[in-house]
Amino acid sequence: MIIGDRLRELREAKKLSQGDIEKRTGLVRCYISCVENGHTVPAIETLEKMARALEVPLYQLFYDGEEPPQVPTLLKRKSSGEGAWGSSGKNARYFGKLRHLLGKSDENDRKLLLHIVQKMARR
């Protein structure tokens, strides 16, 4: 779906002009035209303004059904407590110290350390 086409479709269905959208959003008419013709892609904040101006929920700019789309069920990820290294006990304390010290080091030192660890892991 091209967002500009969808915005034009919703605007015309509500019998609004680009000038009406300009007044409701504060966006200039030529920008609205550029979006509708696919010459520019608006930021999320701009899409929120346009959805408010069109008096529709934001999801309707991306979906043409009456109800919100069904959220797919995703595969369940292991939680941090399911045996992941560094998630509990002595390993967690070690991992915390490592994170703290890496945070204090500069970018070049972190890159060097990563390179060394990658070499060691290949063995």
Instruction: State the number of CA atoms in the 13 A half-sphere of 55 facing the CB.
Output: 6
- Quick check: 118 pLDDT over 80? yes
Q: Report the pLDDT averaged over residues 38-49.
A: 93
Using alpha carbons only, give the angle 8, 67, 42 rounded to the nearest 5 degrees.
Answer: 35
- Cα 34 to the chain's mean position, in Å? 23
pLDDT grade for 51, boundaries at 50, 70 and 90:
very high
Using alpha carbons only, give the angle 87, 123, 91 rounded to the nearest 5 degrees.
Answer: 15
Domains of the chain, residue spans: 3-61, 89-122
pTM of the predicted model as reported, rounded to 2 decimal places: 0.55
- Quick check: 36 pLDDT over 60? yes
Q: Which long-range contacts (CB under 8 A, 24 or more apart) does 73-76 make?
A: none
Return the CATH number of the domain spanning residue range 3-61: 1.10.260.40
